[in-house]
């Protein structure tokens, strides 16, 4: 397989991680009172049954008690162009994508503490 054919998948995964991580970082986990990864994974798995990426993001946010996430709409549009691949990943690998979201949020928080922009 050439590196050109893997580039779009890597880009899709990078953007997906950012979108999910942006949701993770907005949740006030102290109010949840249960294991954050379990809660997020359950909400993500339920949301992944939606027919579009836009609806997945909407349902995930509602399930987590969020009204919005700090993501450019173009990133969600990009994921929508790869809908089949994204929905398959979320439906079949929800635990993995929960861990990626959690990791992204942790890195983002650490970067903010050091005064970095992103």
Ramachandran category for residue 33: left, alpha or beta (phi over 0 → left; psi -120 to 50 → alpha): left
pLDDT of residue 32 exceeding 90, the answer is: no
Measured distance CA(87)–CA(66) in Å, rounded: 21
Q: What is the pTM of this model?
A: 0.89
Residues with Cβ within 8 Å of 35's Cβ and at least 6 positions away in sequence, in order, are: none
pLDDT digits (tens, 9 = 90+) for 63-81: 999 999 999 999 999 999 9
pLDDT digit string, tens, across residues 33-54:
789 999 999 999 999 999 999 9
């Amino acid at each position: 397989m050439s590196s050109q054919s893997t580039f779009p998948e890597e880009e899709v995964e990078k953007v997906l991680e950012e979108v999910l991580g942006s949701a993770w970082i907005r949740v006030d986990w102290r109010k949840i009172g249960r294991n954050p990864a379990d809660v997020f994974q359950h909400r993500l798995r339920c949301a992944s049954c939606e027919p579009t990426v836009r609806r997945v993001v909407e349902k995930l946010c509602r399930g987590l008690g969020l009204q919005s996430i700090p993501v450019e709409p173009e990133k969600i549009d990009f994921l929508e162009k790869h809908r089949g691949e994204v929905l398959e990943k979320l439906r079949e690998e929800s635990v993995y994508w929960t861990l990626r979201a959690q990791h992204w949020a942790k890195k983002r928080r650490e970067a903010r503490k050091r005064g970095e922009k992103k």
